[in-house]
Amino acid sequence: MRIAIIGAGCSGLTAIKHLVQAGLNDIVCYEKSDQIGGNWVYTATPGHSSICKATHTISSKSMSQFSDFPMPDDYPDYPSHQQILAYFQAYTEHFQLQKYIRFNVAVQQVRKIAKERWHLSLSDGTEAEFDYLFIANGHLSIPRHPDWKDDFSGHYLHAHDYKTNQGLENQRVLVVGAGNSACDCAVDASRDTARVDISLRSAQYIIPKLIMGKPTDTFAATLQWLPQRLQNRLQKISLRIQIGRYRDYGLPEPDFSPTQAHPTINSQIFDRIRHGKIHPRSAIQGISGQTVYFTDDSSQEYDVIIAATGYTISFPFFDANFINWKDAAHIPLYLRVFHPDHPSLFFIGLIQPQGCIWTLAEAQSQLIAQLLTDKIRLPGNWRESAMTEGKNWAQQFIARPRHSLEVHYYPYLKSLRQIIKSTNQSSK
């Protein structure tokens, strides 16, 4: 069987590794850039990467390393983007993955052909056909812009294009959003600007990176044996003890549980607010020139707006009538991997977990590798489940575009492992 993989980021790399480990060697991974790493390859060039120069992980080292390849002992609890890229490079070298990757080759078009096979047209002018196709191109490359983008006459940029605070000296900056990218941009920009405001359309759980001396995800892992309601209660209590009330910082108080929305993991934002370096503002009501009008009837002039307004799901190599989830409220995939109409098509890393994405991509890859080598089987009703599963996930979170890919880390990981366990038992 011939297997194609689109993308050599964290998801594509672990897919190669587990396919090869299962004995499948006729693999080609197409990477449009000149190196592995995906979004973790920092460059100052706008449009290339979604990380900025100051980026560190928001999941801890112990909860972010692949199961059979630990991070170096000297890495901190929250590694920098340079350290993460070095880790992926070491992973690639250790498992000899590079020989399966074709660099500087973009997949321009994908067509499904007879017998559930796939025809790929490539940027180097060649074409190829495969039996199976892995989509690992990520979901943080196409920015979602706000409707008022063109109303602002100052300098506008999406968080995707924010690299450093260079050039923002003495500027009045508004950051729109309160997710991880928004808070990172606000903190970084606030070091040299004249003023940084951050506009929140709705309440958001902003959680410190350390709770009771432990990385937040490590602390949360110790609570997994408890019922979800009790976990939520303990998380709220620990947050109250550690940071107080959100309104003490001029932030709106969430009226939902911590697990109903994707959390923002950031400790510095609280310090910068209380030191007067970042000023919370309400939602944007309208913009005229360089003046922004807020829903609390206040207004302010800005030189720069940084919109941390998320991303759209994009597969530029598919025809829009084939698969198009740009505005989808939920994704009809079984286990966020298997498409009910295309059993030879697999999505790796098309998730937004409350935890580390690439450890879940590793589990997805393990599952598919065992499936393709006939070690396991999917349940008979997997196609029907694909249609309902996305809706079930969506009901567990607040209805926002960012939650169309959201999963709870441990329940999702458990569901992957249960398939392996149940199918192994049924085959005995």
Q: Which of 307, 338, 373 is the last residue of a domain?
A: 307
248 in the same domain as 176: yes
Q: What is the mean pLDDT of residues 343-350?
A: 97
The helix/strand/coil state of 372 is: helix
Residues composing the chain: 428
Higher pLDDT, 183 or 396: 183
Determine, yes or no, domain membership for 268. yes
- 232: domain range? 145-307
Rounded to 5 degrees, what are φ and ψ at 122? -115, 160
d(Cα 38, Cα 51) in Å, to the nearest integer? 10
322 in the same domain as 296: no
179 in the same domain as 321: no
48 in the same domain as 195: no
Determine, yes or no, domain membership for 211. yes
Determine, yes or no, domain membership for 354. yes
pLDDT of residue 427: 42
Residues with Cβ within 8 Å of residue 308, at least 6 apart in sequence:
158, 159, 175, 176, 177, 179, 181, 182, 185
Q: What is the mean pLDDT of residues 348-359?
A: 92
Q: What is the mean pLDDT of residues 201-225?
A: 89
Determine, yes or no, domain membership for 333. yes
Determine, yes or no, domain membership for 428. no
Q: Which of 253, 276, 307 is the last residue of a domain?
A: 307
Least confident interval from 2-16, 126-140, 406-420: 406-420
- 300 contacts 208 by C-beta, under 8 angstroms: no
d(Cα 139, Cα 310) in Å, to the nearest integer? 10
Does 79 score more than 80 pLDDT?
yes
Beta bridge mates, 121: 109, 127
- 254 contacts 240 by C-beta, under 8 angstroms: no
Q: What is the mean pLDDT of residues 183-190?
A: 96
pLDDT of residue 428: 39
pLDDT of residue 307: 97
Determine, yes or no, domain membership for 219. yes
137 in the same domain as 149: no
pLDDT of residue 334: 95
Determine, yes or no, domain membership for 427. no
Q: Which of 273, 307, 341 is the last residue of a domain?
A: 307
Determine, yes or no, domain membership for 282. yes
Looking at the structure of the chain, the number of domains it has is 2
pLDDT of residue 245: 94
The helix, strand and coil proportions of the chain, stated in percent and rounded to the nearest 5, come to 35, 25, 45
Does 416 score more than 70 pLDDT?
yes
Does 338 score more than 70 pLDDT?
yes
What does the pLDDT look like over 297-315, one tens digit per residue? 999 999 999 999 999 999 9
135 in the same domain as 16: yes
- Name the CA dihedral angle for 155, 157, 161, 165, rounded to a multiple of 10 degrees: 50
What does the pLDDT look like over 33-77, one tens digit per residue? 999 999 999 988 776 666 888 999 999 999 999 999 999 999 999
Task: Report the first-to-last Cα separation within the chain, whole angstroms.
Answer: 26
Residues with Cβ within 8 Å of residue 14, at least 6 apart in sequence:
66, 348, 358, 361, 362, 365
d(Cα 71, Cα 67) in Å, to the nearest integer? 10
The CA-atom distances, in angstroms, between 367 and each of 96, 121, 138 are: 21, 28, 19
- 259 contacts 228 by C-beta, under 8 angstroms: yes
d(Cα 391, Cα 84) in Å, to the nearest integer? 34
DSSP 370-392: HHHTTS----TTHHHHHHHHHHH
Cα angle for residues 321, 324, 329 (degrees, 5° grid): 135
Does 223 score more than 70 pLDDT?
yes
406 in the same domain as 290: no
Least confident interval from 102-106, 229-233, 312-316: 229-233
72 in the same domain as 216: no
Q: What is the mean pLDDT of residues 279-307?
A: 97
186 in the same domain as 277: yes
What does the pLDDT look like over 167-179, one tens digit per residue? 999 999 999 999 9
Per the prediction, the chain carries an average pLDDT of 92
CATH code of residue 282 = 3.50.50.60
Amino acid at 96: Q
136 in the same domain as 192: no
pTM above 0.85, yes or no: yes
* Buried b / exposed e along 166-195 (16+ C-beta atoms within 10 A): eebeebbbbbbbbbbbbbbbbbbbbeebeb
Helical segments of 140-290, H only: 180-189, 216-221, 228-243, 268-274
pLDDT of residue 112: 97
Least confident interval from 122-136, 283-297, 383-397: 383-397
Amino acid at 58: I
pLDDT of residue 329: 79
What does the pLDDT look like over 3-12, one tens digit per residue? 999 999 999 9
Residue with tokens 């297997």: 3
325 in the same domain as 363: yes
The CA-atom distances, in angstroms, between 361 and each of 34, 149, 253, 370 are: 22, 34, 33, 14
- Per-residue pLDDT band at 238 (split at 50, 70, 90): confident
Closest of 302, 315, 328 to residue 157, by C-alpha: 302
What does the pLDDT look like over 375-397, one tens digit per residue? 999 999 999 998 888 888 878 88
171 in the same domain as 59: no
Count of other CB atoms within 10 angstroms of residue 352: 19
